[in-house]
Amino acid sequence: MGGNKPIIPILTGPTGSGKTAVVNRLLEVNPELHIISADSRQIYKYLDIGTDKPPQSELDKHNYHFVDFVLPGKRYTAFDFVEDAREIISELLEKETLPIICGGTGLYIKSLAEGIAELPDDDLAIRRNLENEAVEKGPKFLYEKLQEIDPDEASRIHPNNIRKVIRGLEIYYLTGRPKSRITAEREIDYPYRFDIICLMPSRERLYENINARVDNMMKDGLMAEIESLYNLGFADKVKGINVIGYNELFRYFDDQISLSVAVNLIKQNSRRFAKRQITWFRGMRNLKMFDTSDSALQYLLGFWPPKIKT
């Protein structure tokens, strides 16, 4: 694999770019391949069709990690992912087995590959909740919360600077770590290296894929999955997660919008999300861009079959 450190491939790209198709073809060649999912929505149980999760038959058959293992409502941060992923990677390398990391959650990918750094405005739902708290309970309430979570950061901020107070809290809720500690840490020196492969089809093709995927999700039973979430008592918790495809249909079930409007919103919001992902990935270091699944697959096939020695 080159160099003294093992090289672990990361396959990423915006939603609808074809990552799943590449992984499925890799599994045809190497059924024992371990896939470490870097998808912040597929981690949740009961969110299957709307997150494009592998079917249960595939999860049972192959070695997937971090798919379908957290209940809706349970907090799982980028820091949790980095800690858990590092543990799995180390265990696999000790067995001389090379995994692939695959997913489109840029925060997970960047945090794992570059170390957790100061974050962009990544979760509008968290920010909106904090802003509502500031209105209802006052800036002092949020500032005192920041003092408990991150006293070093709070000491640098005036209590009435609500924008920076919210920023400090937002980073903590996203990563599980205080902002002051994140900004003080150096990048992690891993005993392995990452090779980041980013699928980036043309914007036109990407949007066509997204629209088709939403239509397929509706045909595959996304409506029934929403009903199941209500019946299981998870609807409110899933609403808090702010997952595209679910929130729009919750609004339909709550008689706020029509079904056709909900489906169109899913497509529109998915395209907007993909656009944000593209901006994020283009800002990352050392990415190899591929515009087709075939070209990415051919590159990735060079990593297997190897069992590697660390």
Residue 132 sits in a domain of what CATH number?
A: 1.10.20.140
Contact 114, 285 (CB under 8 A): yes
CATH of the domain at 83: 3.40.50.300
Tally of domains within the chain: 2
pTM given for the model: 0.78
139 and 283 inside one domain: no
**30, part of any domain:** yes
Token pair listed for 70: 């957290």
150 and 43 inside one domain: no
**What integer pLDDT is reported at residue 305 of this predicted model?**
63
203 and 55 inside one domain: yes
Question: Which of the 8 DSSP states describes residue 190?
Answer: -
78 and 192 inside one domain: yes
Domain boundary among 135, 157, 184: 184
152 and 69 inside one domain: no
> What is the domain extent for residue 46?
7-115+187-303
45 and 111 inside one domain: yes
**What integer pLDDT is reported at residue 114 of this predicted model?**
81
Give CA–CA dist 157/4, Å, rounded.
Answer: 44
13 and 132 inside one domain: no
Token pair listed for 12: 């990423």
Domain boundary among 184, 204, 236: 184
Domain boundary among 184, 208, 225: 184
**What is the per-residue DSSP string for 192-219?**
SEEEEEEE---HHHHHHHHHHHHHHHHH
**What integer pLDDT is reported at residue 1 of this predicted model?**
43
**309, part of any domain:** no
**Among the residues of 30-123, which ranges form H helices?**
56-61, 78-94, 106-114
* C-alpha gyration radius of the chain: 20
* Letter string b/e over residues 5-34, b meaning 16 or more CB atoms within 10 A of that residue's CB: ebebbbbbbbbbbbbbebbeebbeebeebb
**310, part of any domain:** no
66 and 197 inside one domain: yes
131 and 265 inside one domain: no
Residue of 303, 308, 230 whose CA lies nearest to 11:
303
Residue of 93, 21, 9 whose CA lies nearest to 288:
9
Kindly give the parts of the chain with pLDDT less than 50.
1-2, 118, 120, 307-308, 310
111 and 153 inside one domain: no
205 and 266 inside one domain: yes
213 and 299 inside one domain: yes
**173, part of any domain:** yes
